[in-house]
Amino acid sequence: MIRPALVIQANELNDDAWCTIILPITKQRHNTRVSPVVVEVKPPEGGLTVDSLILCHQIRAVDKRRVISVRGKVTSGTLRKATLGVMLATGCPLTDADAKEAVESLNFPAS
């Protein structure tokens, strides 16, 4: 089965590495809700054809031979949300501005 994913590995690492770091993308919405670690993406962004979710808390390293094709690119805003989601999922310290940006991007009320 072919599964979409967002490659988040730095470009400089792609030439020499045998694997790449990805975030899976799913169209399954029944058990998943948008949160700081789940980023919504709408077609045609990223070459997607249906509304989808980037699962920032399910970081994976995959063999580059499993990457079959590049279907598109996400916007810098979507990449920023995914980056913040990874930082939250992995416990990386966030600045107050980063935390505020993560909350505001979801239209959640600030606490």
Which runs of consecutive H residues, i.e. helices, occur in the chain? Answer: 11-14, 76-90, 96-105
Task: Tell me the per-residue pLDDT of 55-108, one tens digit each, with 9 for 90 and over.
Answer: 999 999 999 999 888 889 999 999 999 999 999 899 888 888 887 777 776 654
Reported pTM: 0.84
Is residue 110 scored above 50 in pLDDT?
Answer: no
Smallest CA-to-CA distance from 1 within 31, 24, 30, 32 is with 24
Contacts of 79 (CB under 8 A, 6+ apart): 6
Chain segment 13-70, per-residue pLDDT in tens: 878 889 999 999 998 777 767 778 899 999 999 999 999 999 999 999 999 999 888 8
CA–CA dist 111, 53 (Å, integer): 25
